[in-house]
Structure 1
Amino acid sequence: MKKIDKLVIKSFVGPFFLTFVVVVFILLTQYMLKYFDDFVGKGLGAEVFAELLFYFSINMTPVALPLAVLLSSLMTFGNLGEHFELTAIKGAGISLTRALRPLFVLVSLISVVAFLSNNFVVPKANLKAYSLLYDIKQKKPALDIREGVFYGGIPNFKIKINQKFADGETIKDVIIYDHSEGLGNRNVILADSGKMYTIQNDRYLMLELFKGNRYSETTKMLATASRGGGNSQFVRNNFDTTKMIFDLASFDLQRTKEEYFASHRRMQTMEQLSTSIDSMQYEKVAIKYDAFAGSTNFYNYHLRYDSLMPEGLEEQIVVADMAIDSVDSVENIRQSGLLSMESSAIKAGNLKRQRQEIQESLEEVGTNKTKHEVTEVDTALLAQVESEITESERASIISKALNQSRTIKNTLQINAQKLRRLESEIRKNTYESYKKITQALSCLIMFLIGAPLGSIIKRGGLGVPVLISVCFFIAFYVVTEMSRKWAEDLVMSAELAVWLPNIVLLPFGIVFLIQARLDARLLESDFYRVLIDRLVMRWKNIRQKPAV
């Protein structure tokens, strides 16, 4: 038994690593092509590209592992079936499920490693990859001064060279506009020829100009109050040789602090995502509470002193306030991740103070007048005023009522949009959290599809297994993207959406496993030909059977 286990594992390990590397390379190439325009002409070194590719390779592993397991298991059992090794194993009295056991244990270990990688390694790699990609996008293109075109890549200067010679240094007909004083085109340099090259490891650009003129227009201020302004002076200086040095520090790759990107859900672990979800849940409760607590301020008579607070909402906000108060300081709140970037502790404190002020004002009104007394006074006053009101005053009152109604409607719409946005963010974070688990378990499901299917088709190599793997992977990808979109659009719960691809593919694995144990020939034409002949014969027998 141990020799058979070693044979099966040895047949699987080689194709697995090969297909994993190939899949990562294909996915990485496809992903990098989207940002190809951001890399061209930036003068990035090989070490920057190597760092970027390394981090994005780690980013591709959650998608590459299930596909690699599917393809390698198909190839492994396809090769065993093609060379009749699987037949010999069954002939020795070993069932298919027993032959699958060592690979099932190995793939289970791969799933555990995949989960740990998705939860701890991939978020850190995403943080470094996307921060570096952002810095690359912000980087200026490399120094490229072309003939006959004004170049403005160097800060405060515009340079035009009409002719560049083949040696790469000699230039002719040079025009330079100096904008360092911020006064427009008042300083101009014209030169007949010169040389252009970089010094100190491309840190500075040196321009040696020959036979030229420097033109400058300055403004001399006059102290006389009668003039109150200034007059311009035009200065021209001739030179045979002059040198200009330009700092090229602005062309370097400026690295942004990674902390600025750490709040994104792709850069967080499951624990951090859970904390972010809790903070957004608190913000939802706070928005609802403030909307209902302050709703009475929009009414003058109707619902002025009626409580519109839904049952249980006050208890929720009390629990949320206790959670906020348990944190010592704003800095601790931010470091612990209790509040997201959009809901800081300062904002929570402001909301809490507003709720206290509203509650105090309502209590003060309650002490001065009871609800019954207020209603009787307002009703009597309204009846008296209505009998004496004119048409113009009535129109004015209606106009004010309409404006107040529009204000209430706009306020409700704003709060509804905030709640919808928060709910969408909560579902995105929930989806991202559960995805770390489902992507790891998808390795097991792909194994349950690939291994039995390989034993059924009995074809090895990269032909039929690749075709079948691509079909299942496309189906898996389509269902994943559809469910993710449904979750973000609030059509489906995030929990169901993230588990839906595995739920859809798991029956295929169970069916293939059952058919493989029965030695079914699902992919052979004779199997379907015999099945169709049996159905036709049964249909003929039913039609020819005499009626009773």
Structure 2
Amino acid sequence: MKILDKYLLKTFLTTFTTVFVILFFIFILQTVWLFIAELAGKDLDLLMIIKFLAFSMPRIVPLVLPLSILLASIMTFGNLAENYEFAAMKSSGISLQRAMRSLTVFIILLSIVAFFFSNNVIPFAEYKFINFRKNIAQVKPALAIAEGQFSDVGFYNIKVNKKSGAQGNTLTGITIHKKSQSGDGSKTVIKAKDGELISSEQSSILQLVLNDGYYYEDIVPKNYVDREKLPFVKSSFKKQIINIDLSELNKVDVNEESVASSNTMLTVNELNYTLDSLNKNMKTDIIAFSENSNTRITYPEKSKKVVVKKNKPLPNNLLSLYSNQEKSNILQLASSTIESTIYTIDSSNTDLLNKQKNINNHLLAFYDKFVIVFACFLMFFIGAPLGAIIRKGGLGLPIVFAILIFITFHFINTFGKRLAQENGMTPFMGAWLSSFVLTPLAVLLTYRATNDIGLISMDVILAPFQKILKKLFPTQN
């Protein structure tokens, strides 16, 4: 390796490492901010918090890595151009492509590492993170009860509008559905204005104290005739205490891993296998729906058959061949069949759309593992020429350009994925849209930097206006 390559590589690595650490720390703070409501005041020990954050860190890398490469490239080549080191290189016959050669090799190696990280480390971390978070929620009931949604706690589904207090144990706007022991749904509903969670480390019983509420329960009589009357019990209370046995919940091992179905947890091979299964299942469902629809749209075999002479043409109104009673039966059957078919189509359509969204999410997760590889190249070939063109290093102008470019990249990437999830475009296009949009920019900047053309050529902009002015005001000799 020549001295120039060592110098460029050392300069780039120093800048890249510094930028990566700073940005990684910033994104970690963002992660802490996102989950602070779940972590703060929940009696979690330091080790559990460290594990929680450690499992959430790898997901940050696909965001931080391309941005770090972009900013480090702009700063490195901007410093070289600002200090006239590029001018010295060019006077010695060293082109921009030659100067970028060693760094290009480094970016290739970094991209390979990024792929293996995305394919192995991130799925493993997501697997750990989701299971760890689920198990914490079971061990810490206050953490399990989320605001604005039903949370499963033992034999109860609990929803609260707001949680407050130092431990998050003061609840407001409580709705509770008690699970039926027979497994036929929830027949008991309890609503309360407010309440409080009371627990003790020495006891496995969680007390839920409810204030100013109503109790509603459906009664299922043994006599089937009485069931048609839909009897129920309703009462009000000023205070009611519900004891929830946490002995089974507290047997949960926070290191146990039972959830393993999220697309973010899967490697490329696992995603391929899962996608194959999902596509086969969807095709099977479509065929089954088609066959079921054909079976539904038939006339009962027991119906009266009308015999028509061979040479006699059929009437325009086929119903005229039947009696009034038969006409009524046929029309009723047709009406019920149409209603049933429409309902089946709507429900099947919703089910198939959800399955297609699931397939799209798996495809997006599959393509994302390759997008990060290309993103490393893309950001380098945008940042390096841009730094050479603007001729500014440091943390001023390079940060402005880096943020603008990366926000554009991230916005287009998010927009494409959302469209792909809703079948607005193919998952391939959704995942690669940002790369396709910014690749021409990388080519343009590399071309202009190689040929010593500025970022914006004022001559190109002013030339049309100069021609117009010359025509309007010709010079007189």
Using the size of structure 2 for normalisation, the TM-score is 0.71
Alignment check: 8 A CA contact 2:132 2:257 kept? no
Name the residue aligned to 2:341: 408
Name the residue aligned to 1:106: 106
Alignment check: 8 A CA contact 1:140 1:250 kept? no
Name the residue aligned to 1:463: 396
- Picking from 354, 365, 372, the partner of 1:432 is 365
Q: Which amino acid aligns with 1:481?
A: T
Q: Which moved more, 1:407-416 or 1:124-133?
A: 407-416
Distance in 1 (CA, whole Å) between partners of 2:352 and 2:5 is 56
Q: Which amino acid aligns with 2:269?
A: E
User: Aligned in 2, Cα 1:281/1:203: closer, same or farther, shift over 3 Å?
Assistant: same
Alignment check: 8 A CA contact 2:19 2:71 kept? yes
Alignment check: 8 A CA contact 2:42 2:142 kept? yes
Alignment check: 8 A CA contact 1:452 1:516 kept? yes
Following superposition of structure 1 onto structure 2, how do residues 285-304 of structure 1 map, counting pairs within 5 Å? 285-301=283-299
Q: Any stretches of 5+ residues in structure 2 without a counterpart?
A: 144-152, 156-198, 204-244
User: Aligned in 2, Cα 1:106/1:253: closer, same or farther, shift over 3 Å?
Assistant: farther
Name the residue aligned to 2:22: 22
Cα drift, residue 397 of structure 1 = 3.6
Alignment check: 8 A CA contact 1:107 1:444 kept? yes
User: Aligned in 2, Cα 1:532/1:442: closer, same or farther, shift over 3 Å?
Assistant: closer
Percent of aligned pairs with the same residue?
29
The secondary structure found in structure 2 opposite 1:460 is coil
Say if 2:268 is the partner of 1:270.
yes
Name the residue aligned to 2:141: 140
Cα drift, residue 83 of structure 1 = 1.7
Name the residue aligned to 2:182: none
Q: Which amino acid aligns with 1:112?
A: I
The secondary structure found in structure 2 opposite 1:462 is coil
Distance in 1 (CA, whole Å) between partners of 2:357 and 2:331 is 38
Alignment check: 8 A CA contact 2:77 2:384 kept? yes
User: Aligned in 2, Cα 1:251/1:396: closer, same or farther, shift over 3 Å?
Assistant: closer
User: Aligned in 2, Cα 1:464/1:141: closer, same or farther, shift over 3 Å?
Assistant: same
Say if 2:433 is the partner of 1:500.
yes
Name the residue aligned to 1:517: 450
Say if 2:450 is the partner of 1:449.
no
User: Aligned in 2, Cα 1:430/1:512: closer, same or farther, shift over 3 Å?
Assistant: same
Cα drift, residue 277 of structure 1 = 0.9
Cα drift, residue 291 of structure 1 = 2.1
The secondary structure found in structure 2 opposite 1:261 is coil
Following superposition of structure 1 onto structure 2, how do residues 18-167 of structure 1 map, counting pairs within 5 Å? 18-138=18-138, 139-141=140-142
Name the residue aligned to 2:13: 13
Name the residue aligned to 1:343: none
The secondary structure found in structure 2 opposite 1:478 is helix
User: Aligned in 2, Cα 1:135/1:545: closer, same or farther, shift over 3 Å?
Assistant: same
- Picking from 330, 353, 366, the partner of 1:420 is 353
Q: Which moved more, 1:20-29 or 1:116-125?
A: 20-29
Name the residue aligned to 1:261: 259
Alignment check: 8 A CA contact 1:135 1:253 kept? no
Alignment check: 8 A CA contact 1:123 1:269 kept? yes
Alignment check: 8 A CA contact 1:483 1:497 kept? yes
Name the residue aligned to 1:536: 465
Cα drift, residue 257 of structure 1 = 6.8
User: Aligned in 2, Cα 1:136/1:253: closer, same or farther, shift over 3 Å?
Assistant: farther
User: Aligned in 2, Cα 1:388/1:62: closer, same or farther, shift over 3 Å?
Assistant: closer
User: Aligned in 2, Cα 1:531/1:385: closer, same or farther, shift over 3 Å?
Assistant: closer
Distance in 2 (CA, whole Å) between partners of 1:35 and 1:16 is 28
Alignment check: 8 A CA contact 2:131 2:257 kept? no
Using the size of structure 1 for normalisation, the TM-score is 0.62
Cα drift, residue 87 of structure 1 = 1.6
Distance in 1 (CA, whole Å) between partners of 2:382 and 2:470 is 38
User: Aligned in 2, Cα 1:474/1:388: closer, same or farther, shift over 3 Å?
Assistant: closer
The secondary structure found in structure 1 opposite 2:141 is coil
